[in-house]
Amino acid sequence: MENQPLLQVYTPGSDLAAGFNLNQLVWGRAGNDTLLGFQPVQGTSVKSQFDILVGDVVLDDPAFRSWSDTFVLGDWTKPYYANGNLDNFNFGLNDYALVVDFNPELDSIQLHGDSGNYQLLDVGLGSAILLQQETGFDTVGFLLGSSSLTLENSYFNFRGSTPSKTTLPKIQQQGTAEFDISGATATDTEGNVYVAGGTTGSLAKSNSSGARDAVISKYDSDGNLLFTKQFGTSNFETIYGIATDPNDNLYVTGITAGDLAAPMQATDSDAFVAKYDSEGNQLWIEQFGQNSIFQSFGLDVDADGNAYLTGIDVKPSIDLATDDFWAAKFDTNGNQQWFTEVNGFDDAFDESYDITVSEDGSLYTTGWTLGDLEAPGANAGVYDAHITKFDNAGEREWIRQFGSSDYDWSSGIDTDSQGNVYAAGWTLGDLEGTNAGSYDVWLSKYDSLGNQQWLQQFGSVDNDQGFDLFIDSSDNLFLTGFTDGSLAGTNAGSFDAWAARYNTEGQQIWRQQFGTSDFDQAYAITGDNAGGLFVTGVTQGSFGDVSAGSFDSWVAKLDAESGTLVDFSGTSQPGKSVSSPSLGASAGSPQLTDEDISYINIFFEDFLASLNIDSYGTGLEAYLGNPYGQPMPPSAAVPEPSSGIGLLLIAAAAWASTKLRPQPRSIRKPTGQLALEFDKAV
């Protein structure tokens, strides 16, 4: 094919599906996803970029549910895909997004400015969104198969050109005008708080390439920023796990697509682990990998400063790419002690996202499987959750696999002082009782021998997902995640963060929900020794500071006893300087001629032809894959923490589809919404 986009696949959950390379196909899959391509770096107008954004078309969903996706083509600071270089590129057609499956009855398009800044153009095979610049029209996106739309309809969400007002000043917020995310947090013995993740901006150093850098920030117990460290190559780096030892050294783990500490060993990405002192000085860093995609997501540290990691190892195959999960131990000096990989009784996907070490040195990992991990025939439906126990030498002791006939996902794990292990995640099924309506949260307890003690499932009628779990020294259990419903109070407007406390008997003590009127998700939770809880995540709104643009990181402090928010705003934070570019007056903009319309129409047809896609979407399966046999894609990408973190290949969806009964799919003509024709359920 003339154009070959890089495939980036997200999970069956509600993901923040953010691209991080030029020319990507970003597929959100099931769930109420928020999708955005790689944000063009300002001033690089000579670059060409096209991103293909696919929401939930070709669902690998046994219930064929309806999902509402948001396609982000701008924020309050700027329009995306609008380089303004209209002299060298007619109508700005060197960069744009193609939205494949926009459904105006369910989905929305987010744009900078207001409706007066844009014009919609029917181009035969869909609609073009044109930004009206002072010097002409700039194409920011195409909506395949969607026509007869109007800018005044609510499916267009205009962000304006000013930030939203701060709503929760007690919460600390950090960000650049680019994409910032925090998915890991830890505390030290002095009560300081560390948060870590990634940025495509310049938080602590110049990031001229615009690629994702890893970021670590340290705050004192009041929210004063002590330092921010940013590091990376010209490729992608993000931190997903963080922990401290009794000497207040800091350990982080994540993924790199470059030569961060050594030459790349896997084809697409490696894992890394690093140690820092309490001042943020790097003491050592190790990079390792094998096969195609090798990544680390979970980290814990014992009293001797040994670091334990877990992640995935994706292996190419002629017919079907598969992956297994692994656990590894590094001593306090960065020497690898052992590495153990786990696979099931078939070639299905088996992944792990979190790890914990108990007081007796035993290790536990958790994640999901599409196959029979515990025993032949163990899978209950499609995605099952699992818990695996290892001894301190890396020998596997037992696996427990459990699930409903639907999707069951696990992403958080911890142990109490008695050696019991707890895991948390989300389900679309009936794990314990009847599902409340969509995604429900679940929390389970097992003893050290692998016997389940109890399982709790809870949720609203909307989308509720559990993401992380923390247990304090008094054996109180704390969970965090996100909801677009009213799980613990009235929803603030979009996705909200939530936190909850349980005791070891599975009884809920309190539940707290908070958010802005915009998109807010929580990914990690930890606590100190003084009754403080800390939750971190991502927001498109303004918590304690105005949004810097795109998505910002945030960290909130809660009282562990009551769940109420505690002031974490600090006293020494510099104010942000934020601004939005002027788009010019729309009244003076030139008008499109018939020749202009024909030019854009022909360009769009030629672009689709180069991808072998027609107005019905037929041909997209060449990128999304044959549901009954998926070859390794040419390149794969790395999801966010909100993306199930390890589902990197469409092959996982292909494998899931083999568990579902084939059903014919109807064809919807392009009269406002796209439908694709596939003869198998995916």
Looking at the structure, tell me whether residues 384 and 260 fall in a common domain: yes
For 415, other C-beta atoms within 10 Å of its C-beta total 22
Q: What is the rounded CA–CA span in Å between residue 366 and residue 387?
A: 5
Residue 574 lies in a domain: no
Looking at the structure, tell me whether residues 154 and 209 fall in a common domain: no
Q: Which of 118, 114, 102, 113 is nearest to 155 (CA)?
A: 102
Structure tokens at 49: 């970029």
Q: Which of 367, 345, 372, 320 is nearest to 649 (CA)?
A: 320
Q: Characterise 237 by phi-psi region: left (phi > 0), alpha (psi -120 to 50), beta (else).
A: beta
Contact 243, 221 (CB under 8 A): no
The H or E element that residue 438 is part of is none
Range of the domain at 118: 6-162+582-657
Instruction: Express each pLDDT in 614-633 by its tens digit.
Output: 655 565 555 554 332 333 33
Q: Characterise 570 by phi-psi region: left (phi > 0), alpha (psi -120 to 50), beta (else).
A: left
Taking the C-alpha atoms of 635, 638, 642 and 643 in order, what is their torsion angle to the nearest 10 degrees? Answer: 30
For 432, other C-beta atoms within 10 Å of its C-beta total 17
Residue 223 lies in a domain: yes
**Higher confidence at residue 293 or residue 320?**
293
**Higher confidence at residue 93 or residue 5?**
93
Distance of CA 214 to the CA centre of its chain: 15
Instruction: Express each pLDDT in 520-560 by its tens digit.
Output: 999 999 999 999 999 999 999 999 999 999 999 999 999 99
Q: What is the pLDDT of residue 56?
A: 82
Looking at the structure, tell me whether residues 143 and 11 fall in a common domain: yes
Q: What is the pLDDT of residue 373?
A: 95
- What percent of the chain stands above pLDDT 90? 70
Q: What is the rounded CA–CA span in Å between residue 446 and residue 415?
A: 10
Torsions phi, psi for 373 (to 5 deg): -90, -40
pLDDT band at 585 (very low <50, low <70, confident <90, very high): very low
- Which pTM value belongs to this model? 0.89
Q: Which of 268, 307, 266 is nearest to 285 (CA)?
A: 307
Among the listed ranges 189-193, 368-372, 613-617, which one has the minimum average pLDDT value? Answer: 613-617
Residue 1 lies in a domain: no
Q: What is the pLDDT of residue 89?
A: 63
* Cα distances (Å, whole numbers) of residue 426 to 160, 213, 679: 35, 29, 30
Task: For residue 40, give every residue at least 6 positions away whose Cβ sits within 8 Å of its Cβ, in sequence order, or none.
Answer: 47, 49, 80, 81, 83, 95, 210
Looking at the structure, tell me whether residues 57 and 93 fall in a common domain: yes
Among the listed ranges 39-43, 391-395, 629-633, which one has the minimum average pLDDT value? Answer: 629-633
**Higher confidence at residue 498 or residue 630?**
498
Q: Which residues pair with 111 in a beta bridge?
A: 158
Among the listed ranges 217-231, 287-301, 380-394, 644-658, which one has the minimum average pLDDT value? Answer: 644-658
* Cα distances (Å, whole numbers) of residue 344 to 168, 303, 324, 372, 395: 46, 32, 8, 6, 15
Instruction: Express each pLDDT in 404-438 by its tens digit.
Output: 999 999 999 999 999 999 999 999 999 998 999 99
Residue 572 lies in a domain: no
pLDDT surpasses 50 at 575: no
Task: For residue 606, give every residue at least 6 positions away whose Cβ sits within 8 Å of its Cβ, in sequence order, or none.
Answer: none
Q: Which residues pair with 386 in a beta bridge?
A: 367, 401
Looking at the structure, tell me whether residues 134 and 253 fall in a common domain: no
Q: What is the rounded CA–CA span in Å between residue 383 and residue 532?
A: 35
pLDDT surpasses 60 at 676: no
* Cα distances (Å, whole numbers) of residue 359 to 156, 202, 388: 53, 40, 17
Q: What is the pLDDT of residue 302?
A: 98
CA angle at 490 for the pair 489 and 494, rounded to the nearest 5°:
120
Q: What is the pLDDT of residue 3?
A: 52
Amino acid at 323: D
Instruction: Express each pLDDT in 338-350 by its tens digit.
Output: 999 999 888 888 9
Structure tokens at 212: 């994702």
pLDDT surpasses 70 at 335: yes
Q: What is the pLDDT of residue 207?
A: 80
Looking at the structure, tell me whether residues 495 and 633 fall in a common domain: no
CA atoms within 13 A on the CB side of 164: 23
Amino acid at 597: I
State the average pLDDT over residues 303-324: 87
Residue 680 lies in a domain: no
Decide which of 566, 591, 609 is a domain's last residue.
566
Q: What is the pLDDT of residue 614?
A: 64
pLDDT surpasses 90 at 455: yes
Q: Which of 615, 678, 665 is nearest to 143 (CA)?
A: 615
Structure tokens at 610: 């180069």
> What single-letter DSSP state applies at residue 655?
H
Decide which of 522, 540, 566 is a domain's last residue.
566
- What percent of the chain stands above pLDDT 70? 82
Q: What is the pLDDT of residue 205?
A: 83
Contact 219, 225 (CB under 8 A): yes
Q: Which of 609, 639, 634 is nearest to 7 (CA)?
A: 634
Residue 595 lies in a domain: yes
pLDDT surpasses 90 at 319: no
Strands (E), 528-600: 532-539, 552-559, 565-566
Instruction: Express each pLDDT in 220-267 by its tens digit.
Output: 999 999 999 999 999 999 999 999 999 999 999 999 999 999 999 999
* Cα distances (Å, whole numbers) of residue 19 to 23, 165, 212, 412, 643: 9, 27, 10, 25, 12
Decide which of 566, 594, 626 is a domain's last residue.
566
Instruction: Express each pLDDT in 397-411 by its tens digit.
Output: 999 999 999 999 999
pLDDT surpasses 70 at 377: yes
Q: What is the CATH number of the domain that holds 289?
A: 2.120.10.30
Q: What is the rounded CA–CA span in Å between residue 244 and residue 278?
A: 9
Q: Which residues pair with 295 in a beta bridge?
A: 312
Looking at the structure, tell me whether residues 200 and 77 fall in a common domain: no
Residue 435 lies in a domain: yes
pLDDT band at 124 (very low <50, low <70, confident <90, very high): confident
Domain count, the chain: 2
State the average pLDDT over residues 637-652: 36
384-390 and 363-369 strand pairing = antiparallel
Looking at the structure, tell me whether residues 525 and 646 fall in a common domain: no
Looking at the structure, tell me whether residues 499 and 379 fall in a common domain: yes
Looking at the structure, tell me whether residues 551 and 586 fall in a common domain: no
Structure tokens at 121: 């153009």
Torsions phi, psi for 269 (to 5 deg): -160, 150
Out of 122-131, 341-350, 358-367, 659-668, give the one with best mean pLDDT. 358-367
Q: What is the pLDDT of residue 408?
A: 95
> What single-letter DSSP state applies at residue 658?
T
Query: In a 3-state reduction of DSSP, which class is residue 477?
Result: strand
Residue 668 lies in a domain: no
Task: For residue 140, give every residue at least 6 positions away whose Cβ sits within 8 Å of its Cβ, in sequence order, or none.
Answer: 73, 74, 79, 80, 81, 82, 92, 96, 97, 111, 129, 130, 131
> What single-letter DSSP state applies at residue 163?
P
Structure tokens at 536: 């971190």
pLDDT band at 680 (very low <50, low <70, confident <90, very high): very low
pLDDT mean across residues, the chain: 86
Looking at the structure, tell me whether residues 412 and 546 fall in a common domain: yes
Looking at the structure, tell me whether residues 465 and 424 fall in a common domain: yes
State the average pLDDT over residues 639-665: 37
